[in-house]
């Protein structure tokens, strides 16, 4: 989460037309509390960059040239979905507000129809859960729609086969299960 959110902030800050090759990371010996502090700093950095960005700002992401709203939605998705992963791994439960889940879902997955709670639909769209009333997900090559919504052509996007993806990078393609 830290790397992805910080990576989004950096790309948007300089409006990079290509992938910047760096990692935004906490020190290896950081405690859990320190990791949360760094995640908060990465999220605040993305929020401040978004506030300062001009209305037409766009920058590189493997899923498309994201706009400010797209980067913010991807940052929220990273924190919500991977936060859910972590909390469940510790035996807890986490459910964000329906409003934020629906806003992220509508922005990044405009093709998904909500037949259940927006949070359940967002988890399904990210490959985390199965929903009996939804068709099969897009598969391992799914992509977000992070360009402005008015540029969505009505199809479900997929990662292009010719694009290089760094092996352990979440910020190249969207969260993976």
Angle between helices 98-108 and 118-125 (to 10 degrees): 40
The pLDDT of residue 174: 46
Q: Which residue, 87, 89, 74, is CA-closest to 43? A: 74
Picking from 55-59, 61-65, 144-148, 170-174, which range would have the lowest pLDDT averaged per residue?
Answer: 170-174
The pLDDT of residue 136: 63
Alpha carbon distance, N-terminus to C-terminus of the chain: 14
Highest-confidence range of 123-127, 140-144, 164-168, by mean pLDDT? 123-127
Neighbours of 69 (CB within 10 A): 16
Residue 68 clears pLDDT 80, i.e. is over it: yes
pLDDT tens figures, 132-145: 877 666 667 789 99
Tokens representing residue 103 in the block: 């806003």
Where does the pLDDT of residue 107 fall: very low under 50, low under 70, confident under 90, or very high at 90 and above?
A: very high
pLDDT tens figures, 18-29: 999 998 899 999
The pLDDT of residue 116: 83
One DSSP character per residue, 44-103 reads HHHHHHHHHS-TT-EE--TTS-EEHHHHHHHHHHHHHHHHHHHHHHTT------HHHHHH
Tokens representing residue 49 in the block: 């960059």
The pLDDT of residue 138: 61
Residue 85 clears pLDDT 90, i.e. is over it: yes
Picking from 30-39, 49-58, 133-142, 167-176, which range would have the lowest pLDDT averaged per residue?
Answer: 167-176
Give Cα separations from 128 to 66, 93, 94 (angstroms). 24, 14, 13
Picking from 53-62, 105-114, 162-171, which range would have the lowest pLDDT averaged per residue?
Answer: 162-171
Q: What number is the average pLDDT over the span 92-110?
A: 96
| Greatest Cα pair distance in the chain | 45
pTM of the model: 0.88
Rounded CA separation 66/20 (Å): 14
Q: What number is the average pLDDT over the span 8-15?
A: 97
């Amino acid at each position: 989460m830290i790397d992805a959110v910080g990576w989004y902030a950096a790309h948007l800050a300089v409006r990079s037309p290509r992938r910047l090759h760096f990692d935004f990371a906490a020190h290896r010996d950081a405690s859990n509390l320190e990791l949360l502090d760094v995640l908060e700093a990465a999220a605040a950095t993305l929020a401040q960059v978004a506030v300062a960005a001009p209305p037409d700002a766009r920058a590189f992401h493997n899923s498309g040239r994201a706009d400010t709203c797209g980067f913010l939605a991807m940052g929220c998705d990273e924190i919500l979905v991977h936060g859910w992963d972590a909390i469940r791994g510790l035996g807890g439960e986490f459910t964000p507000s329906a409003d934020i889940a629906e806003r992220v879902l509508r922005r990044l997955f405009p093709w998904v129809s909500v037949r259940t709670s927006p949070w359940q639909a967002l988890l399904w769209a990210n490959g985390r859960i199965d929903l009996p009333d939804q068709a099969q997900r897009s598969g391992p090559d799914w992509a977000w729609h992070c360009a402005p919504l008015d540029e969505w052509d009505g199809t479900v996007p997929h990662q292009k086969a010719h694009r290089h993806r760094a092996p352990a990078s979440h910020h190249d393609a969207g969260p993976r299960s």
